[in-house]
Structure 1
C-alpha cells in the first residue's frame, strides 16, 4: 500500500449537507465549504466541486414544504433552485477572492467522445486559471422519457464519473453520515465504522440501504457505486460527514476520517502545495 499525495480532488456535497431539516439553506456550511476550497485552491491543489441542492434550495426559495411529484414541476423547481444556489456559491467564494464557474451536465455529455472532450477541456482551462468548477446535473433537461439516456442515478455517480474522466486522485463525498458502518447505526447500537476498504464485497453492497429525503435522492447504495467506480480506476475515495467541510483539510493531511476506499493511502498533501 503506497502513500500518495493528492494534486487533483473532486468534492461532492449532498443536499442533506446543504439544506437543513427545517428546509433552510445551511449558509454556515456553505461558507466553510467556500473557505476550505478557496484555501486549497490558493495552495495549488486542483479542486472541482460537484454540488447537489438545487431542488432543496428551490423549495425554500418558493416557500414550498414538499417536493412536487410531477416531473415538469420538479424540473421547474430545480431551475429556480440552481440559480439561487449558484448565487449563494458565487457570493460566498467571492468573500475569499475565489472565482467559480458553473457546468450543468447530462449523462450523454460524458459518454459521447466529442462532447466529453469539450467538457474535459473546459474543466482543464478553468483549473489552469484557478477557477473552481461547480458541477451539477442539468435537471431541467434530464428526463427518463427521452429516447437517449440522459440522467445519472445520483450526483454520487456524477462525481465519480467526473473524477475518473478528469483524472482526479481523490473523490471526497460529504454526506450526512460519518462513515460506512458494519450495520445501520440507527438500528444497531453495536454497529462499528469501517475505516478502510480496498474492495467491496457482495455482503457490503447487499447491506447498503438506499435512503432519500424530501430534499434529495440517494443513499449508501449510490455512494458504494461511486467508491467501486473509483477503485476500479485505481483511485481513492473518502466518505465522511460534511457538517463541517473543514474536515477536508484533515483528509488531505492524511488523517483517518470517515471511510477510506482504495488500495493506496493519502499522504500529507498540504506540506508542499503552496
Structure 2
C-alpha cells in the first residue's frame, strides 16, 4: 500500500461532484427518543456547504423509527415489526419536516425518497429509481433517502441503511460514498474496551484481515453496527466507489478535505448499472457449487460456466434467475443468471458437453451474465 493509494481515496471523496452521504440513527436522535434538532442542523450545515461548492449530494438518513418513539410514548426501540412500522410512520414525517426546515435555512429544497429492497432487486424498479434521482438532482434538490420501514417486511428489508447507501451510491453514479456514524473510524477491535488500533487506510483485503467489527458502534436506536458499515464499504469499494467512514461529529471535515476517519480505496472497476444490479442488488434464488477449475475459468479468465465445472446445485430456481457461484471452500466468488431450471441441473452436473443432447449444450451461466465478486 503506497502513499499515493492512501491519498487517492481521500482526494476522490474531497473532489467528488456527486456524493452519497449516509448518517445513522444514533447521530440524529436522543437516547430517550425523538430528534436531536441540534445534531440534525449541524449535519445539514456541513451538507449544505458541500452543496454550495457545486456537489450534487444524496443524503441517506436513518432515524425514522427513533424519531417516532417519543411521540408514541415508547420507551425504547420496539422489537416487533408492527410497532416498528408504526413508529416509522410517525417518525418519517417528523424527520422529513425537520430536514425541510433545516435545509430551508440555505434555501435548499429536499425531496423524500423511500425505498424497499424490491426497488433495487427488481430491474424495472431499479431503473425507475434511477430516473427519479436524476431528475431531483437536475432540479437542484437534495434527495433524502430512507428505507420504507412502514411497509418493509423482514423478507424485503435491506437489513440496514449502510447497505442501502452503498446500493444508492452506484444507482446514482456517485463519485464517492461517506458513511457517518457514532464511531470516528474503523478499529481492529472494540474501541470502548481499550487497546484497539485505528485503521486509517484500506487498500486491499490484508488491511482489514485482523479487524473484529461485530457489534462495534451499534446502539439501541439503530440496526447497523461497525460490521454493517464495513460490509457496505467493501460492497461500494468492490464496485469502484471510494468510501470514507467517519464520525458524524466530524462531518465538516469529512465533507471538505476528507482528512478524518477511514478511507477505502476502490478495489474493483466501476460496473455498468446492469452488472452492478446483477452482482450486488439482485436477490439470488439459488447456489451453484463449483470445482477449482471452474472457479479459475469464471473468476480469473472471465469465461462462461459450463456443466462439467458444477459439483452441486441448491435452491428452487428457474432459468433466468440469479444464482450465487461458490468455490470449494463455500465462499461466494461470483453471481450470474442461470440458463437452466434447478430440476434440469442434476442430470447435467459433471457431464461433458459433447455427451449432452444438443438442446442442453448451452452454458450454465454465460460470461455476459456473470459478475465475479471481489474478496475485499
Using the size of structure 2 for normalisation, the TM-score is 0.64
Tell me the distance in 1 between the aligned counterparts of 2:145 and 2:18.
15
> Hey, what's the Cα distance between the residues in 1 that align with 2:219 and 2:32?
12
- For structure 2, the residue ranges without an aligned partner over 5 or more in a row are 268-376
Among 149, 163, 169, which residue is 1:163 paired with? 169
Find the aligned partners of 2:266 and 2:222 in 1 and give their Cα distance.
Answer: 31
Alignment root-mean-square deviation, CA: 1.8
Q: Please say if residues 195 and 256 of structure 1, whose CA atoms lie closer than 8 Å, have aligned partners that are also in contact.
A: no
Partner of 2:265: 262
The 5 A counterparts of 1:33-44 are: 33-44=43-54
Query: How much has 1:28 moved relative to structure 2?
Result: 1.4
What is the Cα deviation at residue 73 of structure 1?
Answer: 1.2
Pick closer, same or farther for the CA change 1:99–1:192 going to 2, 3 Å: same
Distance 2:37 2:251 in 1: 12
- 1:132 matches 2:142: yes
Unpaired segments ≥5 residues, structure 1: 265-274
Q: Distance in 1 between matches of 2:202 and 2:163?
A: 19
Aligned to 2:245: 239
Higher relative CO (CA 8 A, sep ≥ 6), structure 1 or 2? 1
TM-score (norm 1): 0.87
Match of 1:104 in 2: 114
Check the 8 A contact 1:29/1:244 in 2, yes or no: no
Q: What is the aligned partner in structure 2 of residue 192 from structure 1?
A: 197
Number of aligned residue pairs: 255
Contact 2:184 2:250 in 1 (8 A): no
> Who is 1:142 aligned against?
152
Matched-pair contact (CA < 8 Å) for 2:43–2:248: no
Structure 2 distance, partners of 1:86, 1:263, is 32
1:34 to partner: Cα distance: 1.6
Counterpart CA distance in 1 for 2:219 and 2:196 is 23
Number of the residue aligned with 1:215: 221
* Aligned-partner Cα distance in 1 for 2:205–2:225: 16
Q: CA deviation at 1:203?
A: 3.2
Instruction: Show the counterpart of 1:268.
Output: none
Could you tell me how far apart the structure 2 residues matched to 1:153 and 1:200 are? 24
> Alignment partner for residue 126 of structure 2, among 111, 116, 136?
116
Deviations 1:193-220 (A, max 9, x none): 1110012347345x11125332111101
For 2:235 and 2:250, how far apart are their aligned partners in 1? 26
CA distance in 1: counterparts of 2:73 and 2:215, whole angstroms: 28
Query: Equivalent residue of 1:104, what SS?
Result: strand
Deviations 1:225-247 (Å, cap 9, x if unpaired)?
A: 11111111111111111025323
Indicate whether 1:11 and 2:14 are aligned: no
SS in 2 for 1:227: helix
Say which SS state the counterpart of residue 156 (structure 1) adopts: helix
Q: Does 1:52 align with 2:62?
A: yes
